[in-house]
Structure formats: C-alpha cells, structure tokens
Amino acid sequence: MRVTVSGPPGSGTTTLARRLAGRTGFRLISAGEVFRALAAERGMDLAAFGALAEADPSIDLLIDERQREIAEATDDIVVEGRLSGLMVTCADLRVWLQAPLPVRVRRILEREDGADLASAEAETAEREACEARRYRQYYGIEIDDLLPYDLVLNSDRFGAEALGAIVEAALAGLEP
C-alpha cells in the first residue's frame, strides 16, 4: 500500500503522514524534511533556499526523483511532500490537505522561532509562489489542480486525530 500526503506549507501534511506511518507501521518519506535539511546544510533559510532551487533545478529534481524511486520500490509507505501525489504514480491513495493561509502561518510560526506574523505570512506566500513557478517550469504541473487527489481535506476544520481517522477509513475501504 502506498499513500501520499500533500498540501501547502503549514497544512499539516507532516503531522498526518507521521501519524499514519506510526499507526500503520508503514515507512515514511518526507520531501519537506529533506528540503529543510538541505537548506540547513547550506546555512540558508527556506525562502533563500527556495530561490536557489528556482535557479538550480537539480535540487528539486533530485528530491522528487529520490522520493519516486523509494516509493516505487517500497511496499507499505507513506510519502509526504507537495508533489508526492503527482510524482508517485503507483500510489493507492492520494491525500491533499488544505487550510486558510492565516491558520497555516500560525502553525509555521509555532514550529519556527524568530519570525513575526507579517514576515512569516510574506515568506510563506513567496515560498508558495516560488514552488508553483518551479513545478510549472520543471513538470508542467499546476499545483492548485486537485483532480488527481482521492481525498481533499481541510485541516483547519478537522484536527490531526480526525484527519487520521478519515484517511484510515479510506484505506480500509479501498478495493483490492
């Protein structure tokens, strides 16, 4: 079983993916963690690293290809990342999480110290615009097209436990 969890920054994809992996025993791969680790290795914040990735396609392409290879070679996996639902073509269930920008920015501020609300909102908006440009350029993907997803859930309306229960029910209901 292969499950993808995608959504914009702060929508709760990492929380849901970790919960699902923990409850199912599936392996977890997270593109965001890989991206953040690469930024930290270079001493860059996410916005600056995003700008670098926009100028150097090899960064995104490496992350995306690595996720795809691992997912396709692994049974029982949860793949978390903005593009995982589109890149993992053999996924059994594709989930997209969304939430209003102010909610997502508040969540981002809770996990990343040092930013104020206005700065975090501007940085998040720029990061999303930067990613959208890169996805369009590299893959011809419109990130706002949610048709490929089996479930589109609002993580502001449903908490982590409820989201997990919804996705677990969907997994249990999949036809073999």
pTM of the model: 0.86
Q: What is the pLDDT of residues 25-84, one digit of tens each?
A: 999 999 877 788 788 888 998 888 888 888 888 888 888 888 888 889 999 999 999 999
- CB 133 within 8 Å of CB 54: yes
- Secondary structure (3-state) at 149: coil
Among candidate residues 9, 67, 59, 70, the one with its CA nearest the CA of residue 35: 59
Q: What residue ranges in the chain does DSSP mark as E strands?
A: 2-6, 27-30, 77-80, 93-98, 151-154
> Is 23 a residue whose pLDDT tops 90?
yes
Joined together, the tokens standing for residue 68 give: 């795809």
Delineate the domains of the chain, giving CATH numbers in brackets.
2-169 (3.40.50.300)
The pLDDT value given to residue 46: 85
The pLDDT value given to residue 39: 85
The pLDDT value given to residue 113: 66
Phi–psi pair at 78, nearest 5 degrees = -110, 125
pLDDT mean across residues, the chain: 90
Q: What is the pLDDT of residues 71-129, one digit of tens each?
A: 899 999 999 999 999 999 999 999 999 999 999 999 888 877 666 888 888 888 988 99
- CB 44 within 8 Å of CB 137: no
- CB 8 within 8 Å of CB 88: no
